[in-house]
Amino acid sequence: MRIVLVGPPGAGKGTQAHLLAKTLSIPHISTGDLFRANIGQGTPLGVEAKSYMDAGRLVPDEVTIGMAKDRMLQEDAAGGFLLDGFPRNLGQAKALDEFLAEQGIELDGVLDLEVPEDEVVRRIAGRRLCRNDGGHVFHVDYNAPKTEGVCDECGGELYQRSDDTEEAVRTRLEVYHTETEPIIDYYRQQGLIATIPALGKVDEVTQRAIEALKQDS
């Protein structure tokens, strides 16, 4: 299957993408992984992307699109893939359609993870990370440490990332509404959108997504 996963920050896209890709036996292709791989390997696209990032500038769509195309042409993606974080705007969505048409293939569905905005803010703004090990993550509501501000694992100080504050999250949501949300209507017009309520247990959300894909297939 060839699937696109969309949703606001804090919707759980990364978690669901990993689980869905594993369940469907297709590669999970995320924008973050594409950038890390290309920059780490020193590919021409990676070098170009790094030059923009080092200058504090946005990486142009054509660079991101080029990375995504290269990844989708790899052997393990021949039977399908799950795109997470790409396409991020209408230009990228149209470029993806053109690429798929050139390859003689089509998307099977676009899963839209739906989470109320207040819940998005609560999920992200409540996160706390350990300064000793960023892998130790807590949440003031859902996974509170035994002692406020102290990591249960190593006793390190817990802190809130600057881009996890409520103000920063609401800014990120504004960007999502402006840049990414239009692709939902774009794909809806193609009959590809399946809206998945993303509240509840992780496995419940995954099951909803699987059922939606079965209905569309």
208 a catalytic residue: no
112 DSSP β-pair partners: 6, 195
Judge whether 154 and 136 are in contact, CB under 8 Å. yes
- Section 155-178 average pLDDT: 93
161 a catalytic residue: yes
Nearest to 134 by CA among 113, 161, 115: 161
pLDDT score for 135: 74
Q: Which of 2, 123, 128, 172 is catalytic?
A: 172
Quick one: pLDDT band at residue 92, thresholds 50, 70, 90?
Answer: very high
172 a catalytic residue: yes
pLDDT score for 112: 97
Q: Which of 13, 71, 122, 123 is catalytic?
A: 13
59-90: per-residue pLDDT in tens? 999 999 999 999 999 999 999 999 999 999 99
pLDDT score for 217: 62
Distance CA 166, CA 190 (A): 35
Quick one: pLDDT band at residue 215, thresholds 50, 70, 90?
Answer: confident
Distance CA 149, CA 136 (A): 12
Measured in whole angstroms, the distance separating CA 42 from the mean position of its chain's CA atoms is 23
pLDDT score for 106: 94
123-139: per-residue pLDDT in tens? 999 999 999 876 789 99
Q: Which of 2, 123, 127, 208 is catalytic?
A: 127
Distance CA 153, CA 144 (A): 12
16-54: per-residue pLDDT in tens? 999 999 999 999 999 999 999 999 999 999 999 999 999
pLDDT score for 166: 94
Distance CA 69, CA 41 (A): 17
pLDDT score for 156: 92
pLDDT score for 159: 94
Does the structure show a pLDDT above 90 at 216? no
Q: Please state, rounded to an integer, the average pLDDT across all residues of the chain.
A: 94
13 a catalytic residue: yes
